[in-house]
Amino acid sequence: MLSQWTRHLNHALWLTTVSNAALVHREEFHEDLVLRPLPDGRVSSKFTFTTLLRDATPRNPESLAVEDDSQHYTLFPLALGQVLREYAITEMHLTLNAGKWNYDRWGYPDEPGVGSGAELWAWMGDGGPATVDYRWQGLRNALAGLFCASLGSLDELRTTSPTLAFEPEGTLPNWTQPHQLRHASLPSEHVCTENLTPFLKLLPCKSLSGVASLLNPHRLFDADWHGMGVHVSYDREDGVKVRLTFQTVFDPVRTSLNNRRDWSFASLFDRKVEQLCPVAETSRVRLALPEVQSYLLAPEYTIQDNYALFDMAASSQAFQVSMDWPQEPKFQYRTSSNYDDASIVPLSVQRTLRGSSQARGELSVTVTNHEAVEIQSVYLETMPWLLQFYLHTLRISHNGESRGDLISNISYVPPVPHARPTTLQCIITIPPKSTIKLTIDVSKSFLRYTEHPPDAQRGWDLPPAVFVPFKTDHNRTLLGTTRYQRIYTPTLLADLATPDFSMPYNVIILSCTLITLIFGSLFNILTRKFVVVNMDPPREVAETQ
Amino acid sequence: MDKIKAKLRALVTPKPDATASRIRRRRAITAKIYAKLPWITTTLFAVGYAWMLCIPFSELENRIYIDENALQPGQVNTQWEWSDVHHADMYLRQLEILRDSNATSEQRADFLANEFNKLGIASSTQSYTFSTSSSTAAGTNAYAVLSSPRTSGNEAIVISASWLSRIDESSTSDPETINIRGVATVLALAKFLRGYSLWAKDLVFVISDGHLDGMHAWLSAYHGVSQSNMDADYLKLSSGVIWTALNIDYPGHSFSHLGVFFEGLNGRLPNQDLLNSLRVIANRAGVPVVTYDHISPPELPSSLPSFLRDNRDVKLYAENARSVLRHVGYEARGSGSGVHGLLHQFRIDAITIFAIPAAGPHGFHAIGRVIESTLRTANNLLERLHASFFFYIMTSSDTFLKIGAFLPSAVLVSVAMMFVGLGEWVRAGWVRGPDRVAEKAGSEVEWLKRRRPLMKPLGIVLGTHVFGAGVFGALNAFADHHSLLTPVVFLVSALPITLSFLNSAPKPPTNEIAQLSTLLKSLNLCLASTIISVTSVLNFSLALTLAILLGLPLSLASPSTSAAVKTAKYACYLALAFGWLLMDTEVKSALWNWEVLGVWVAPFVCVVYAPLVLQAGLVTIL
């Protein structure tokens, strides 16, 4: 009944779209929800809302000089479309995440961009009247306004171009000039409701119907991990695709009274799907089936590729999925060695900034290969100039002995103080079933007093490092072009030398005293005239005169 | 007109003898100061020492207050309930079984790590070994990192408990009291805290083995500090920068008061806001807080007349004095007052909450609520604690002394010593010439300049410090034969006096060359004064102790002719310099602190303090 009505309306919309103008492209909207019970009792959910602009092409920057065609969309988010046309963006990825993705326990995320804080990267065609950097600046400012996030701070101090780790997701059009990558991340960005509201506004059904109605901010922002993403890509066959994603990791064990991992839409989102989104071409709810068979799933489902597929249209009431583990009185966590051995991901990475000094430290990265084959991986650091690497101290050791041969293809863009970040890209080789340790000495910069943030005593958040592992055979040639996903390390906090801004009075007194002492004595010596003084008693002097 | 011009010119052009008269005036002032120098130094000494006695007066102290507005202590409803107390009791029972079965460190750590793991908190263990010249200490720590929801894990709060309690700190035998309820509290807290999503910082639970050694090994590994005599495992789990740490020490069955211990290694102190927050929170929870374990007022000597003993001010003075002395005792030794002291060197504000054993009325319920609320307060911080005081002396849990109230005492003594030293320098350089009889009465005394050869006294100074370094090296090398070492040190340091008797013709003072003893005394005092001033901002308590021990003895050193007086004086200085060698346990603990924890008081006493006193001793026999 519900579905019939939906299809009917969809058809009507499609007709109006076509009848409008020949320039207007066919639009499609798909929504998808993937649920995944995780080994540690948590549940990850990923909402994907895809809007496809069939046979459309991104704007060529060469055409920026002439006025753009007027844009008429029915489903495609106009606010975003305008930004993309204005700055001629071919491909763009914006993620706003909160939390630390635990690869060792949760495995790979469904959406690879899980670095803490904000991350924005875009592929843009070169040429035309406006430079790439000018358009990049425009893009981040426009997105900052659109998503209420401080993306404006992703300035040239944080912008890099690491092409090895951030390859385009779609295809790049064949224009005369090559495409360029701009990437920046802001780990200290907090994600909250003010970012979700504009995100929901981009959806054709908002959060009123369809799977989007599950996006309840009260629950989403209480999740252990949550992140939203806006992905725009171009594909020659399909056209321009906008993918809006929202990913969460809930912990039903934490919220349940007796430590059970049962969950349902009502317990996770405090909502059910009351009605379908009428304009959605497809609305899928899928659940990744765990290996253990002792669960109960409701409602009815069909199995496809180890996923349970639910038909939302089939239910006459409000739709919700629930999963129960009736044989488990209480959820039992795995023992810690189990987590170490289980190779959910090929690599696990630990990255720490050592040393308690505010002047220097040591960046230490430990990479463990869980697989029985050698793994090569791209290792990328995009560090603000606050932390400067001493590249000659880069050491890589395996089982306690130094192994310089495990690192290759180093490309390094040194930082420019107050202007440009460091980019360190290299390929590291991790022998099978072993751990390598990579250390590099760093020096921490001394900032101008105006460069300190208002919460100066907090320290500086440093962006995550990125690993992109790829499998090789013994001859170290690439096995095909398929790579693993990107792995983001946790972010870091660096303590730089900070004046005590809360007590300016003390600082002024101390510096004034020092300056007076130094200046006073120097001035005295410089201006003093040295003369010979006759120290005979004045009376005698008078007598001789 | 011309007259006016001439007058103006006279005003503008300096008089020919103006410079001369200025120099003369300056000379007169210096002469006057020099003449009054004994008075000045005596006054400075008197004021300095009197100030030291005044430190415990309640007129100097301030009431505590919360400076950092973000802390908001005690503003939350605590959720710690009796069911959590039940969990703590269950953990306690398991720990008691473990204790009674004489489980090894590893078994204990494995059990603890497993318990954390059952809660879904990533946990691991770390084995370590310290080898010092006299002993080795080994153990296994258990720790767990609770990655808080929604946070990037950049900041962390540590909740720790050492396996051994601090309660045996003053007893001479090896500490054996187990901090069993402290460990149970940490486990139950982990279970409880995991259920909330409001934590903005990672929570790191550490159950360190031993008393201090375990935590030191864990911290060193966490911060990537290596130490030649330490062999500690790499930490598998890591978190962010640790901002605050609470160490829980709850050895008894129940408690009446919570004691706060806060002194860190080498004179470091945590930010006072942390102590104040705990005090405010515990007050709200109805748990009394005291500094250290001072529950009852100190007993005044019965020889004191009763009207003094019953006087409120005298009682208050005695109470404050006890706290100040305890503080100075911890700080001057540099060893800190517990496990929390190890964290300060990494810029972590840490305190120990000590549940003072008593028959009642408080237990797990009270300590759980206080810690929960304190953690919530620490969780509120957006920046490190930086607003409140870092230099203070707590006279009681709600009163403290600001730096301005105590620092001048030691500095005044140090200034007095500098004046005496400079006076000696002048005395060495000038000698009174024969009075000019021909001139009229009241004429100026003629001063003759004499040479001040510095090589010899400098050599002596250097020699004594090298000797001190030698003593320190010997102490480290022959730690086991300590009883043999002491007489050797005394014998070697007594050598100069025997030499002085063999070569018993002291050179008469001449008008050409300054006396060696005067030069040595001058150098000695200037050096000692500088050291006290510098130390006073690094470790005030140590500077205070130095000012008391060095101030008058060094200033009063003077050569004497009689052999008996000379010997007696030298013996006194020798006792002052190396008397501490007889305090066996003190020496042992100081050396252990140096070798394992890096407390620099032991080398400082050997290389700086003892040689300074020895130099004063040499002044008497030269």
B564 and B609 co-located in one domain = yes
CA distances for A464 relative to A111, A368, A491, B153, angstroms: 17, 17, 5, 12
d(CA B200, CA B363): 28
- Structural domain of B585: 36-55+408-434+445-502+510-621
pTM: 0.91
**pLDDT computed for residue B508 by the predictor:** 62
A-chain residues within 8 Å CB-CB of B219? none
Task: Please check whether residues B341 and B380 belong to one and the same domain.
Answer: yes
CA distance A502 to chain B (A): 7
Distances (CA, A) of A192 to A96, A202, B44: 9, 17, 63
A-facing residues of B in 356-385 (CB < 8 A) are 382-384
pLDDT of residue A15: 45
Is the residue at B2 inside a domain? no
Contact A493 B120 (CB under 8 A): no
Cβ–Cβ gap B152/A457 under 8 Å: no
Residue A426's contacts (CB-CB under 8 Å, 6 or more residues apart) are: A378, A379, A407, A408, A409, A410, A411
Q: Do B397 and B470 reside in the same domain of the chain?
A: no
Evaluate whether B209 touches B334 at the Cβ level (below 8 Å): no
Number of CB atoms found within 10 A of residue A398's CB: 16
Nearest to A355 among B122, B197, B224 (CB): B224
Q: Is residue B378 domain-shared with residue B420, that is, in the same domain?
A: no
Q: Is residue B69 part of a domain?
A: yes
Nearest to B383 among A225, A455, A541 (CB): A455
Calpha distance A211→B578 (Å, rounded): 81
Measure the CA–CA gap between B125 and B214, rounded to whole angstroms.
11
Do B216 and B316 fall into the same domain? yes
Instruction: Tell which residue, B222, B236, B205, has the closest CA to residue B375.
Output: B205
Decide: helix, strand or coil at residue B396. strand
Q: Which member of A352, A492, A533 has the closest CB to residue B19?
A: A533
Q: What pLDDT was estimated at residue A346?
A: 84
Q: Is B390 on the interface with A (CB under 8 A)?
A: no
Query: Closest chain B residue to A221 measured between Cα atoms?
Result: B150
Question: Which residues in chain A touch residue B152, judged by CB atoms under 8 angstroms apart?
Answer: 98-100, 116-117, 187, 461, 490-491
Contact A99 B151 (CB under 8 A): yes
B395 min Cα distance to partner chain A (Å): 25
Question: In this structure, are residues A424 and A378 in contact, taking their beta carbons and an 8 Å threshold?
Answer: no
CB distance B154–A461 less than 8 Å? yes
Residue A541: half-sphere exposure toward Cβ, Cα within 13 Å: 10
Q: Judge: A335–B117 Cβ closer than 8 Å, yes or no.
A: yes
Looking at the partner chain, which of B124, B155, B387 has a beta carbon nearest the beta carbon of A336? B124
Give me the residue from B117, B238, B346 closest to A356, CB to CB: B346
- What integer pLDDT is reported at residue B583 of this predicted model? 86
Within a domain: B14: no
Low-confidence ranges of chain A (pLDDT < 50): 1-3, 12-22, 475-481, 540-545
For chain B, what is the domain count? 2
Domain assignment present for residue B161? The answer is yes
Query: Counting Cβ atoms within 10 Å, is residue A53 exposed (0-12), middle (13-18) or buried (19+)?
Result: buried
Domain-embedded: residue B112:
yes
Find chain B residues with C-beta within 8 A of A223's C-beta. Answer: 149-150
User: For residue A19, what pLDDT is reported?
Assistant: 42
Nearest to B152 among A333, A335, A490 (CB): A490
DSSP alpha helix (H) spans, B299-400: 306-309, 312-333, 364-379
Q: B443 and chain A: CB distance < 8 Å anywhere?
A: no
Chain B residue with minimum CA distance to A458? B383
Judge whether B10 lies within some domain. no
B223/A117 CB distance under 8 A:
no
Q: Nearest C-alpha of chain A: how many angstroms from B224?
A: 6
B120 shares a domain with B46: no
Asked if residue B48 and residue B193 are part of one domain, the reply reads no
B265 and B398 part of one domain: yes
**CB A495 to CB B345 under 8 A?**
no
Q: Compare CB distances from B224 to A335, A364, A531 and report the shortest one's residue.
A: A364
Q: Does the beta carbon of B154 lie under 8 angstroms from any beta carbon of chain A?
A: yes
pLDDT at position B451: 87
Q: Are A265 and A322 in contact (CB under 8 A)?
A: yes
**How far, in Å, are A336, A545, B151 from residue B119 at the CA level?**
11, 103, 19
Q: What is the DSSP string of A198-252?
A: HHHHTSTTTTTSSGGGG--HHHHTTSSEEEEEEEEEEETTTEEEEEEEEEEEE-H
Q: Chain A neighbours among B 175-214 (CB < 8 Å)?
A: 194-195, 197
pLDDT above 70 covers a percentage of chain A that reads 90
Measured between alpha carbons, how far is B515 from B526 in angstroms, rounded to an integer? 17
> SS3 string of A256-289?
CCCCCCCEEHHHHHCCCECCCCCCCCEEEEEEEC
Judged by a CB distance cut-off of 8 A, whether residue B21 touches chain A is: yes
Say how far apart CA B247 and CA B354 lie, in whole Å. 8
Digit-coded pLDDT (tens) for B247-289 = 999 999 999 999 999 999 999 999 999 999 999 999 999 999 9
CB contact under 8 A, B19 and A541: no
Quick count: other Cβ atoms within 10 Å of Cβ B616? 27
User: Does residue B151 sit at the A interface (CB-CB below 8 Å)?
Assistant: yes
Q: At residue A59, what are phi and psi to the nearest 5 degrees? A: -75, 135
Give chain B's residues under pLDDT 70. 13-16, 171-175, 434-445, 503-510
Choose the mutation target among A352, A368, A489 for the interface with B, i.e. most B CBs under 10 Å: A352
Question: What domains are defined for chain A?
Answer: 27-324 (no CATH), 347-494 (2.60.40.1170)
- The closest CB to that of B383, out of A336, A364, A457, belongs to A457
CA nearest neighbour of A82 among A68, A61, A96:
A68
Nearest alpha-carbon partner for B420 in B541, B532, B509, B535: B532
* Count of CA atoms in the C-beta half-sphere (13 A) of A427: 12
Residue pairs spanning A and B at CB distance below 8 A: 107
Residues B454 and B328 in one domain: no
Q: Please indicate whether, in this complex, the C-beta atoms of A333 and B118 are within 8 angstroms of each other.
A: yes
User: Which candidate, B36, B35, B40, B41, places its Cα nearest to that of B445?
Assistant: B35
Please check whether residue A364 is in contact with residue A352, taking contact to mean a CB–CB distance below 8 angstroms. Answer: yes
pLDDT in tens, B200-250: 999 999 999 989 999 999 999 999 888 999 999 989 898 999 999 999 999
Mutate to test the interface with B, among A102, A218, A338, A457 (most CBs of B within 10 A): A457
**Rounded to 5°, angle at Cα B342 from B232 and A446:** 95
Q: Do B386 and A457 touch (CB under 8 A)?
A: yes
In a domain, residue B352? The reply is yes
Task: State whether B417 and B396 are in the same domain.
Answer: no
Instruction: Tell if the CB–CB gap between A99 and B152 is shorter than 8 Å.
Output: yes
Question: What ipTM does the predicted assembly reach?
Answer: 0.89
B155 interfaces chain A, CB cutoff of 8 Å: yes
Contact between B105 and B209 (Cβ < 8 Å)? yes
Write out pLDDT tens, residues B582-596. 888 888 889 999 999
Is the CB of residue B585 less than 8 Å from the CB of residue B553?
A: no
Residue B421 to residue B531: CA distance in whole angstroms: 13
Q: Which positions in chain B touch A355 (Cβ < 8 Å)?
A: 223-225
Domain termination site, one of B349, B380, B402: B402
Co-location of B474 and B603 in the same domain: yes
B23 within some domain: no
Look up the CATH number of the domain holding residue B305: 3.40.630.10
Residues B217 and B275 in one domain: yes
